[in-house]
Structure 1
Amino acid sequence: MSKIDPIFAEVTAPGTPFELGEQDGLRFFVNAPSDLNQLIESARRFGDQTCVVDYDGPEGERRLSFAAMFEWRDRLAGQLGIGRGQRVAICMRNRAEWMVAFLAVVRLGGVAALLNSRGSAAELSAMVDEVTPDLVLADTERAALLRDGGYEGRLIDVTQPLGDDTPVLANSAAAEPSDPCAILFTSGTTGRVKGAVLSHRSLITGLLGTQLTGSMVLHNMAREYGVPVDAIVAQVPPQAILLVYPLFHISGLGAGFLAPFLSGGKIVIMRRWEADEAVRLIEHEWVTQLSTVPTMLWDMVHRARAGDADLSSVRNIGSGGQALPLNLLEEVRALCPHAMIGVGYGMTETSGAIAQAVGSDFLARRASAGRVLPLVDLRVEREDGTLCGSNDTGEIIVRSAMIMSGYWNRPEETSRTFTADGWLRTGDIGYQDEEGYIFIVDRAKDMVISAGENIYCAEVERVLSEMPQITECATFGIADDRLGEALVAVVQADGLDERSIIDWVAGRLAPYKAPVRVAFSRDPLPRNHSQKIDKIALRSLWPKLAAKH
């Protein structure tokens, strides 16, 4: 793409903000700052513009300008007492305090470990044990959960007032590009939490890559309409994004928070997904950008239909986590006639999207996950390590400056995830066509994506196996019109019913990880030649097992 696209050549030419260089086989932005805080500081120029709208603050609605966010960040940083390289866990639901906490940790050169705020006390305890933070920043509810889970270290409830005598930090601690910046958790196929370490360079590259993509879209539009880029920019309404992803997700951190923050956009926070509230916020706040999953889009479509809602302000809709059904696409286009719709493909370990398709690019290959982004190298490998040709299916392997440094304190898992020559194994099975579009057809990882949430079967099965009445268990995903995939379980057990099993999991893991259906087998579960439970056979048996129940 970079060799033949004239617009890409134009916007990345020497002397431009997106000028590219190459080192050790990786492309990078020559003019990028060395640490994320320097990039964040550039947003001070937005001053009194609205930065965050939070309808669920301690006193109701809050509207915070960029100047107010920076002032709050500097006061909080003055009381943290941490320095470069020290780990600080952040454990809160989506709220302005979460954002301020992250900005404060980055300013001090710390490493922000982003805990899943939906987790149970045991899950939070496991994440804390994994990264052994020097400090935890939490809201009141999560602070209580952490203490219940046995955490006895230093903890600050950042939802409490700082006090008028809190010092304002004057100086920042500079970090090196390769320094860890954030740790984001993923359970992985082992069922145990592990933290993907994202460096300053990887996060900055991902964020600037998003800006580069946006610049290329503008240049393409200008070329299509035969007008200057400035004329297009002048017609674009002020950016306002509805934040629906959890901030501890890479999608929430990057696309939902940092990307709009760096471009002067207004971030409208949702505490949790609720279609009625989403439609209200879009209308009231004149939201222009929505990054979500098909499940949420379906909910929004049904709510908008019922209430005759006006969603015409939406100009950009990004979808990820699962394929966008074609009938949903038509519904969304009818509701949001001015919206440019796109899809993306990425993962925590890649600091966000590594493939994307927007507008006409997306419409040309609606079933794809997008085209590989300019700063990413991608190859598709067979099981024997040989390279696949166009349209041949294999595991997707990627290399980029966006890729994580590794898993925190997990050298063996890091080694298994990277090839000998430094490429990341995504665990996704797919192919690339002649025009560079990526198609995902399966997952090598035993994982279910339900409503955009990654649920690792091994984690759920580990919790199920702790029920003394269960002899054998297996979980897997089945197609679901609303969720994309629904997690179901098959168990061999005595004296249990479906509700007791669902409640058992929901009481020990985040509730969304509980199976939505449970079927019972009187016989031992089928096994393959390796004596592992045969989930392919179980999927084919599921209709019969579920019907019996």
Structure 2
Amino acid sequence: MHERPWLAHYPAGVPHQIELAPYTSIISVLQESVDNYRNRPAFSHMGRELDYAQLDTLSRQFAAYLLGELKLKKGDRIAIMMPNCLQYPVAVFGALRAGLTVVNTNPMYTPRELRHQLVDSGAVAMLVLDNFGHTVQQVIADSQLRHVITTGLGDMLGGAKGLLVNFVLKHVKKMVPDYHLDGAVRFNQALKRGAAHALPQVDIGLDDIAFLQYTGGTTGVAKGAMLSHRNMVANMQQAAAWVGTNVKPGHEIVITALPLYHIFALTANCLVFMKFGSRNHLITNPRDLPGFVKELGKVPFTAITGVNTLFNGLLNTPGFEQLDFSTLKLTLGGGMAVQRAVAERWKQVTGVTLVEAYGLTETSPAACINPMDLEQFNGAIGLPVPSTEAMIRGEDGQALGVDEVGELCIRGPQVMVGYWKRPEETAKAIDADGWLATGDMARMDANGFVYIVDRKKDMILVSGFNVYPNEIEDVLAAMPGVLEVAAYGVPDEKSGEAVKVVIVKKDPALTEAQVKDYARSQLTGYKLPRYVEFRNELPKTNVGKILRRELRDQDVANR
């Protein structure tokens, strides 16, 4: 297995190995971009742009505030709880500059979830958007938080516009519940105070922990993956080497609709595109699809990253097909399986291939990416990226042969240091030779292309046959009357488990009989859905991944 067949199929110009030099940390990447692209826009949001020089100044001020005013120390954890807005990059780069570890926190967390993350990480400081201050208020007493910084969505838009945005959110849209946090400081105030302090020299190295990215909440308790500066810089270099031949430094505009607190956008958009001196155009609420399409109409974007549900949502929103796609050259899909029906329609509408990539929080995230010059969707998650090895393992831990299905394992410089304060969990995930077990069932073809079959835990066992929900979802997603579909296993006396599908209709007239007939024309007997349920929407994660487990749990509870 170790002849690495994928190397022979790398796109022209992509190296087999990456170098970490000249970078000593994420901040040295930022510094290089500031030097090279000073006056180019780095981030834009709601009509305001921050160029690289401004990002440099503001993040220095924030770092100086954290160290000079709050007296935080290298290695302290700071939680950042906000959607995509200009404060996010300023705060993250500021915190990293100060030698802190960033705990990315999902703004949609319930108090229970937030409490777990704050207590587990031991965060001593926090930056939170006003909309979520009430959640922090409910759990702060149980945490080690000593400092809270608050901000409104409009705070960095400046002048009348910023005031108006904050006013509308609070008083018109009622999206900012009242809250009280003793001694909290406003973000703009923190920047002002930071400007009065000199930024001390903090020695930050590749082995320092840059992020605690919480993951695995669906499998019980969420664990913090420790991602070092080395992990993040390595993955940035791997992804940059892969897409670099398609990129014009200083001229790209990437649509960042996935939240930056999620590992996909954090590395792919924030870091990789920053290295190229690009502009990240931030979308705060991609769930408002008509608003999102309107925003896309204003920007000559050259790249977009997303998950299947986001692309599917855009394709089904009026006005999207009329947009000008003449500048678009790169569409990257990940985070969940990209469905063939969605990828083919994306190509048809935009003229650009939807290139699927694969990664995990634990791999910072990119492990495999398809060639950028792919003519059309191929159903694979791609080839292992430079300096990365992939292996398919059987139940006995031995490497399997070509096209045999087993667990995908990954080894490379982007594999996390381990789970925060959980040595036993780390040992379960990463073996003595450095191989990370992904929990995904996959196969590798003779050319080194990897195909995900499904999550190990989501596999359905029907009369001893393995049924993979991805395959059923893929088939039914191509049915004209179907907008979204989730498949999962439900207990069955005769066959152990039976297949159930939950569908959101595109055509209101769609019937259960039609779905079953269509499935019968495409799938063998044991894979056929025995139960079909229609709903108005499917439960999803913050990034838009469909939660099969939640549907299954509801089913079990209702029996």
Are 2:64 and 2:200, in contact at CA under 8 Å, matched by a contact in 1?
no
The 1:293/1:44 distance shift into structure 2, 3 A limit, reads same
Alpha-carbon distance between aligned partners in 2 of 1:303 and 1:258, rounded to the nearest angstrom = 30
The 1:188/1:386 distance shift into structure 2, 3 A limit, reads farther
SS of equivalent residue, structure 2 residue 433:
coil
The 1:317/1:426 distance shift into structure 2, 3 A limit, reads same
**Among 78, 98, 102, the residue aligned to 1:112:** 102
**1:275 has 2:289 as partner:** yes
The 1:306/1:202 distance shift into structure 2, 3 A limit, reads closer
The 1:306/1:199 distance shift into structure 2, 3 A limit, reads closer
**1:485 has 2:486 as partner:** yes
- How far apart are 1:303 and its partner, in Å? 2.1
The 1:510/1:198 distance shift into structure 2, 3 A limit, reads closer
The 1:277/1:169 distance shift into structure 2, 3 A limit, reads farther
- How far apart are 1:211 and its partner, in Å? 1.3
Give the structure 2 partner of residue 285 of structure 1: 299
Count of residue pairs brought into register by the alignment: 448
Alpha-carbon distance between aligned partners in 1 of 2:120 and 2:459, rounded to the nearest angstrom = 22
One-letter identity of the residue aligned with 1:280: K
Give the structure 2 partner of residue 355 of structure 1: 368
One-letter identity of the residue aligned with 1:184: Q
The 1:324/1:3 distance shift into structure 2, 3 A limit, reads closer
**Among 387, 392, 398, the residue aligned to 2:399:** 387
**Among 186, 211, 222, the residue aligned to 2:240:** 211
Equivalent residues in 2 for 1:484-503, closer than 5 Å: 485=486
**1:262 has 2:262 as partner:** no
Are 2:84 and 2:283, in contact at CA under 8 Å, matched by a contact in 1?
yes
Alpha-carbon distance between aligned partners in 2 of 1:306 and 1:188, rounded to the nearest angstrom = 34
Alpha-carbon distance between aligned partners in 1 of 2:418 and 2:444, rounded to the nearest angstrom = 26
SS of equivalent residue, structure 1 residue 175:
coil
Alpha-carbon distance between aligned partners in 2 of 1:515 and 1:487, rounded to the nearest angstrom = 10
The 1:520/1:199 distance shift into structure 2, 3 A limit, reads closer
**1:50 has 2:41 as partner:** yes
Deviation digits for residues 423-456 of structure 1 (CA, Å, limit 9, x no counterpart): 11101111100000001112124599xxxxxxxx
Give the structure 1 partner of residue 254 of structure 2: 241
Question: Identity over aligned residues, as a percent?
Answer: 22
One-letter identity of the residue aligned with 1:286: P
**Among 91, 100, 114, the residue aligned to 2:81:** 91
- How far apart are 1:278 and its partner, in Å? 2.6
Alpha-carbon distance between aligned partners in 2 of 1:359 and 1:3, rounded to the nearest angstrom = 15
One-letter identity of the residue aligned with 2:132: R
SS of equivalent residue, structure 1 residue 95:
coil
Equivalent residues in 2 for 1:159-170, closer than 5 Å: 159=152, 160=186, 161-162=188-189, 164-166=192-194, 167=196, 169-170=198-199
Are 2:126 and 2:148, in contact at CA under 8 Å, matched by a contact in 1?
yes
One-letter identity of the residue aligned with 1:261: M
Are 1:2 and 1:374, in contact at CA under 8 Å, matched by a contact in 2?
no
Alpha-carbon distance between aligned partners in 1 of 2:338 and 2:322, rounded to the nearest angstrom = 23
- How far apart are 1:488 and its partner, in Å? 9.6
**1:441 has 2:453 as partner:** yes
Are 1:118 and 1:510, in contact at CA under 8 Å, matched by a contact in 2?
no
The 1:283/1:312 distance shift into structure 2, 3 A limit, reads farther
Alpha-carbon distance between aligned partners in 2 of 1:277 and 1:176, rounded to the nearest angstrom = 42
CA RMSD of aligned residues (A): 3.5
Alpha-carbon distance between aligned partners in 1 of 2:233 and 2:92, rounded to the nearest angstrom = 15
Alpha-carbon distance between aligned partners in 2 of 1:7 and 1:370, rounded to the nearest angstrom = 10
- How far apart are 1:83 and its partner, in Å? 2.8
The 1:9/1:242 distance shift into structure 2, 3 A limit, reads closer
**1:407 has 2:419 as partner:** yes
Are 2:406 and 2:442, in contact at CA under 8 Å, matched by a contact in 1?
yes
**1:34 has 2:34 as partner:** no
**1:321 has 2:345 as partner:** no
- How far apart are 1:76 and its partner, in Å? 1.2
Deviation digits for residues 22-66 of structure 1 (CA, Å, limit 9, x no counterpart): xxxxxx5152422211111111121121111111xxxxx322111
Q: Which runs of 5+ in 1 are unaligned?
A: 13-17, 21-27, 56-60, 219-231, 449-475, 491-501, 526-549
SS of equivalent residue, structure 1 residue 246:
coil
Alpha-carbon distance between aligned partners in 2 of 1:489 and 1:157, rounded to the nearest angstrom = 45
The 1:484/1:237 distance shift into structure 2, 3 A limit, reads farther
Q: TM-score, normalized by length of structure 1?
A: 0.73
Give the structure 1 partner of residue 149 of structure 2: 156
Deviation digits for residues 346-383 of structure 1 (CA, Å, limit 9, x no counterpart): 100000111011344463x6111111112111111111
SS of equivalent residue, structure 1 residue 69:
helix
One-letter identity of the residue aligned with 1:303: T
Deviation digits for residues 275-294 of structure 1 (CA, Å, limit 9, x no counterpart): 22332222211111111112
- How far apart are 1:313 and its partner, in Å? 2.6
**Among 61, 72, 88, the residue aligned to 1:75:** 61
The 1:171/1:332 distance shift into structure 2, 3 A limit, reads same
Alpha-carbon distance between aligned partners in 1 of 2:413 and 2:556, rounded to the nearest angstrom = 48
- How far apart are 1:165 and its partner, in Å? 4.5
**1:300 has 2:323 as partner:** no
Alpha-carbon distance between aligned partners in 1 of 2:106 and 2:76, rounded to the nearest angstrom = 20
- How far apart are 1:399 and its partner, in Å? 0.8
SS of equivalent residue, structure 2 residue 317:
helix
One-letter identity of the residue aligned with 2:304: L
Which is further off, 180-189 or 119-128?
A: 180-189
Alpha-carbon distance between aligned partners in 2 of 1:330 and 1:300, rounded to the nearest angstrom = 14
**1:103 has 2:93 as partner:** yes
Deviation digits for residues 81-107 of structure 1 (CA, Å, limit 9, x no counterpart): 323211111111221111111101110
Are 2:430 and 2:436, in contact at CA under 8 Å, matched by a contact in 1?
yes
The 1:348/1:447 distance shift into structure 2, 3 A limit, reads farther
One-letter identity of the residue aligned with 1:336: T
One-letter identity of the residue aligned with 1:297: F
Are 1:116 and 1:185, in contact at CA under 8 Å, matched by a contact in 2?
no
Deviation digits for residues 467-500 of structure 1 (CA, Å, limit 9, x no counterpart): xxxxxxxxx998473455378999xxxxxxxxxx
**Among 121, 132, 137, the residue aligned to 2:127:** 137
Alpha-carbon distance between aligned partners in 2 of 1:319 and 1:4, rounded to the nearest angstrom = 22
The 1:119/1:326 distance shift into structure 2, 3 A limit, reads same
Give the structure 1 partner of residue 443 of structure 2: 431
Alpha-carbon distance between aligned partners in 1 of 2:555 and 2:456, rounded to the nearest angstrom = 26
Deviation digits for residues 217-239 of structure 1 (CA, Å, limit 9, x no counterpart): 44xxxxxxxxxxxxx95xx9921
One-letter identity of the residue aligned with 1:436: G
The 1:488/1:66 distance shift into structure 2, 3 A limit, reads farther
Alpha-carbon distance between aligned partners in 2 of 1:95 and 1:256, rounded to the nearest angstrom = 14
Alpha-carbon distance between aligned partners in 2 of 1:521 and 1:10, rounded to the nearest angstrom = 52
Alpha-carbon distance between aligned partners in 1 of 2:22 and 2:250, rounded to the nearest angstrom = 27
Alpha-carbon distance between aligned partners in 1 of 2:553 and 2:230, rounded to the nearest angstrom = 44
One-letter identity of the residue aligned with 2:112: A
Which is further off, 114-123 or 135-144?
A: 135-144
Are 2:62 and 2:91, in contact at CA under 8 Å, matched by a contact in 1?
yes
One-letter identity of the residue aligned with 1:394: G
Alpha-carbon distance between aligned partners in 2 of 1:389 and 1:517, rounded to the nearest angstrom = 33
Give the structure 2 partner of residue 187 of structure 1: 216
Are 1:341 and 1:358, in contact at CA under 8 Å, matched by a contact in 2?
no
Are 1:313 and 1:336, in contact at CA under 8 Å, matched by a contact in 2?
no
SS of equivalent residue, structure 1 residue 198:
strand
**1:416 has 2:428 as partner:** yes
